[in-house]
Structure 1
């Protein structure tokens, strides 16, 4: 039977598949760490109070990258180059989602509008990350190799998602509500397309490594397309709603270290 649990177990049990999975994850997290670090350094004067939270977000992402790298190292594996068609972060930038890297490389302060764009992009992508990590943690919480890592990353992603809700609601109250809703919708619709394309590319790579039949891959691809169809029709709306989180100021302190992994 095909399920998220059975598919991830296949990946866990195969060194080459696990190496590809961790390499893709580590690369994306490290890229997110760099982006948040640059944004924290360039926040406009009126948003300086946000800089430590953005820096904390970046530190968490860097930590996650180190965790995935450490999981490979424990098996004696080294990272592999990330195939371009599986590079979620790069593909989002190509679709114009978030702040362009050339802007972040310049030492010019961002604008308040840039901060709205950054937080809206983060709101959408952190929704995806939180859901995926919660799913994996729900199935593999007790796994001796990855259980602790999944718990730590899942907890962090929940905090990141809560932080974006809180900050966007603050900016909406300050008069940016229409811009936020428009930007959230644009980000969500672009993200679901990128997620579909990356999912298909990753499954194709995994299928070759794990020796899946054409019929099995076709069934998985059909499932990915079905999820996309649902998200394109209505599921994207969960990515654009805003509500005050139960835990306030979730990124108000220092990043949690991960000495057992890094």
Structure 2
């Protein structure tokens, strides 16, 4: 019987698929770390108190990249090239979601509107990340090889999501509510399309590595498209709601280290 747990167990037990999974994850996290570091450096003067939180967000993402690379080292595996069609972060940028890398590579300070776009984009993508890590934590929190990593990353992603909610609510109170809702909706609808395409691409590559039958790969692709259909009709709305989180000031301190995975 196909289930999220059984599918990931297959990926975990096979060196080639595990290396691909960790390489894709590490690449995305490292890219997120760079983006946040650049945003922190370019924060407008009126929002400088936000810079340490953005820096913390980026440091967490960098840490997650190191963790995924360390998980490969523990298995004696080397990172593998990330197929372009599986690069979630870069595909989002290609579709105009978030802040353009050309802007982040420059030295011109960002505007308050840019920060609203950054936070809205992050609120959507961190929802996805939090849900994915919660799924892994539910099934693999006690796993001897990946359990500690899963719990640490899941905790961080929940913090990132809480931070986005709190900061966006602050900007909404300051008069940016309509811009936030418009940007959240645009980001969410684009993200679910990119997530669908990336998920199908990842499953296709995993299927080749694991020797899945064409029927199994097709069945999984159908399931991914069905999830997209639900998200396109109604599921995307969970990505655009805002509520004050239980975890207040979730990124107010220094980032925790990942020394145990080095």
1:164 equivalent to 2:164? Answer yes
1:48 equivalent to 2:43? Answer no
What TM-score do the two structures reach when normalised by structure 1?
Answer: 1.00
Partner of 2:75: 75
Partner of 2:11: 11
Q: What are the Cα deviations for residues 55-111 of structure 1, in whole angstroms up to 9, with x where unaligned? A: 000000000000000000001101011000000000000000000000000011000
Partner of 2:59: 59
Which 5+ residue runs of structure 2 have no aligned equivalent? none
Q: What are the Cα deviations for residues 151-178 of structure 1, in whole angstroms up to 9, with x where unaligned? A: 0000000000000000000000000000
Secondary structure, counterpart of 1:205 in structure 2: helix
Q: Whole-Å Cα distance in 1 between the matches of residues 118 and 55 of structure 2?
A: 13
Secondary structure, counterpart of 1:7 in structure 2: helix
1:26 equivalent to 2:26? Answer yes
Secondary structure, counterpart of 1:114 in structure 2: helix
Q: Whole-Å Cα distance in 2 between the matches of residues 248 and 106 of structure 1?
A: 32
Partner of 2:37: 37
Q: Whole-Å Cα distance in 2 between the matches of residues 209 and 70 of structure 1?
A: 21
Aligned CA RMSD, in angstroms, stands at 0.3
Partner of 1:135: 135
1:239 equivalent to 2:251? Answer no
How many pairs were matched up? 262
What TM-score do the two structures reach when normalised by structure 2?
Answer: 1.00
C-alpha deviation, 1:258, in angstroms: 1.2
Which 5+ residue runs of structure 1 have no aligned equivalent? none
Q: Whole-Å Cα distance in 2 between the matches of residues 73 and 107 of structure 1?
A: 37
C-alpha deviation, 1:3, in angstroms: 0.6
1:109 equivalent to 2:113? Answer no
C-alpha deviation, 1:182, in angstroms: 0.1
C-alpha deviation, 1:7, in angstroms: 0.4
